[in-house]
């Protein structure tokens, strides 16, 4: 029994990146938890970092920390959400089609973006540190190497995982940045999409300058996604994308043709969606605009005369924000202006 409360479940011991992980039953709240115990003193600072990162975390895709305990004589134990199942490295979790592949990458990218939005770097992103729970939700765990993005982010010797460690980590006094996780995400995405990592990425340091890795994945990826995923593996950390942008582009492709816009003009409501892609609005001899849904967003594809979108002049290519008002006629026409309101739906990625 740990702390008179957590009862170890036999056969539930696994080794994590650092220290042992015990699968336990919380006898008070009657739930299964994972308890990570760190004994040695030199690890204390690391675990403090890990705890501070996890306590800040409110992500669906990052394992939850429930509590922190001091056990025995000063050892630290963190009580974590227990995720049943095998990790992503196991072939049973290999995605079977393009949609499942994009779902998987989007969830991983969401988790990493959530971590980065708190100013934290995970530092050990790899398939072994992710699991899919019984609801199909990807959970990232093992923050063992995470540190706040600050002074302490300078590496003290190599501590990554070959194949997933960014090239800059192989040099002395390398600086940890969120781009390290982005690289590791790219390698993870490649592994999940092809079943293995190419030889040049297994070199030390990996050779990854400008190569096209993602055309080789097993699924018909859109060219913009191939380019985005390739950019995650850029040798220069500054050229890798932000994980929030990666998440958003993946979401965009997952939500293709699923949006809807409610258009109200002249007291009449109509909808724009994949079945009706274009609307043309006209106030005779004053102004005219056409808006088209391309499966990703609602864009202005024609404009002429006095047309304003949220009081700004409109140009072809403008994208409608979540809610907006199009005015036909310039402000000096006062009551003669006509307004059209657009409200866009908020489709969700259902897991």
Partner 1 sequence: MSGPLNPNQVIGGRYEIINYLDQGGMQFVYVALDQLTGRRVALKTPKNNSATKRFRRSAVVAAKVNHPNVAKTLDYVREGDARFLIEELVEGRDLRAALLGDTTFLDPYLAAKVFHHLSKGVAAAHHAGVIHRDLKPTNVMVVGDYSLTELKVTDFGIAKLAKDELEEAVVGGEESLTTSSTAVGALPYMAPEAIESPSSVTAAADIWSIGAMMFHLLSGNYPYGQGLKAVPLIIAANLPQVPAFLTSNPQFEPLAQELLDISFSCLKKNPAERPTADDLVKRCSELCYSSSPRTIGSVTSYQHNAFGFISTSSGDVFFHKESVYGMLPKVGERVLLASYDGGGAPRALPVVRLTNQ
List residues binding partner 1 (CB under 8 A): 26, 28-31, 51, 55, 58, 60, 64, 66-68, 70, 81, 135, 260-262, 264, 267-269, 271, 308-313, 321-325, 331, 334-335, 339, 341, 343-348, 350
Q: Is 290 exposed, middle or buried (0-12, 13-18, 19+ CB in 10 A)?
A: middle
124 is annotated as an active-site residue: yes
* Strand-pair category, 261-265 with 268-272: antiparallel
Locate 177 and state its tokens.
């940045």
| 67 vs 148, beta carbon nearer partner 1 | 67
Q: How far is the CB of 289 from partner 1 (least distance, A)?
A: 15
| 81 vs 245, beta carbon nearer partner 1 | 81
| 158 vs 271, beta carbon nearer partner 1 | 271
Closest CA to 121 of 94, 93, 150: 150
Closest CA to 217 of 209, 205, 229: 229
- Rounded to an integer, what distance in angstroms lies between the CA atom of residue 268 and that of residue 263? 8
Q: How far is the CB of 52 from partner 1 (least distance, A)?
A: 8
- Rounded to an integer, what distance in angstroms lies between the CA atom of residue 283 and that of residue 203? 64
Q: How far is the CB of 28 from partner 1 (least distance, A)?
A: 5
Q: How far is the CB of 208 from partner 1 (least distance, A)?
A: 35
Is the CB of residue 278 less than 8 Å from the CB of residue 293? yes
- Rounded to an integer, what distance in angstroms lies between the CA atom of residue 98 and that of residue 100? 5
- Rounded to an integer, what distance in angstroms lies between the CA atom of residue 230 and that of residue 209? 10
Locate 106 and state its tokens.
């989007």
Q: How far is the CB of 325 from partner 1 (least distance, A)?
A: 5
Marked catalytic residue, from 26, 49, 114, 124: 124
- Rounded to an integer, what distance in angstroms lies between the CA atom of residue 304 and that of residue 86? 58
| 82 vs 176, beta carbon nearer partner 1 | 82
Locate 65 and state its tokens.
């920390």
- Rounded to an integer, what distance in angstroms lies between the CA atom of residue 111 and that of residue 80? 16
| 50 vs 168, beta carbon nearer partner 1 | 50
Say whether the peptide bond before residue 205 is cis (omega within 30 degrees of 0).
yes
- Rounded to an integer, what distance in angstroms lies between the CA atom of residue 250 and that of residue 263? 27
Across 228-274, the runs of DSSP E, i.e. the strands, are 261-265, 268-272
Q: How far is the CB of 140 from partner 1 (least distance, A)?
A: 15
| 60 vs 207, beta carbon nearer partner 1 | 60
Active site residues: 124
């Amino acid at each position: 029994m740990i702390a008179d409360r957590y009862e170890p479940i036999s056969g539930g011991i696994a080794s994590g990146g650092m220290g042992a992980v015990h699968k336990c039953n919380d006898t008070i709240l009657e739930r299964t938890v994972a308890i990570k115990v760190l004994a040695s003193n030199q690890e204390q600072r690391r675990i403090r970092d890990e705890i501070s990162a996890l306590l800040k975390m409110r992500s669906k895709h990052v394992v939850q920390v429930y509590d922190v305990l001091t056990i025995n004589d000063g050892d630290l134990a963190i009580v974590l959400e227990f995720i049943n199942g095998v990790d992503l490295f196991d072939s049973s979790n290999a995605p079977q089609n393009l949609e499942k592949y994009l779902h998987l990458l989007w969830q991983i990218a969401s988790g990493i973006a959530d971590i980065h939005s708190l100013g934290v770097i995970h530092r050990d992103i790899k398939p072994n540190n992710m699991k899919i729970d019984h609801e199909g939700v990807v959970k990232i765990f093992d923050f063992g190497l995470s540190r706040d993005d600050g002074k302490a982010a300078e590496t003290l010797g190599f501590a990554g995982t070959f194949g997933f460690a960014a090239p800059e980590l192989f040099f002395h006094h390398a600086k940890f940045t969120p781009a390290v996780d982005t690289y590791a995400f790219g390698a993870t995405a490649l592994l999940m999409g092809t079943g293995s990592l190419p030889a040049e990425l297994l070199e030390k340091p990996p050779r990854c300058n400008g190569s096209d890795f993602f055309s080789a994945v097993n699924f018909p990826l859109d060219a913009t996604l191939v380019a985005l995923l390739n950019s995650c593996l850029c040798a220069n950390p500054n050229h890798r994308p932000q994980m929030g942008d990666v998440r958003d582009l993946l979401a965009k492709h997952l939500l293709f043709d699923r949006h809807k816009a409610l258009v109200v003009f002249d007291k009449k409501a109509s909808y724009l969606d994949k079945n009706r892609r274009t609307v043309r609005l006209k106030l005779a001899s004053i102004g005219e605009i056409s808006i088209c849904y391309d499966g990703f967003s609602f864009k202005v594809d024609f404009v002429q005369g006095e047309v304003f979108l949220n009081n700004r002049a409109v140009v072809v290519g403008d994208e409608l924000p979540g809610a907006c008002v199009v005015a036909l006629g310039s402000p000096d026409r006062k009551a003669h202006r006509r307004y059209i309101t657009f409200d866009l739906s908020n489709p969700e990625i259902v897991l």
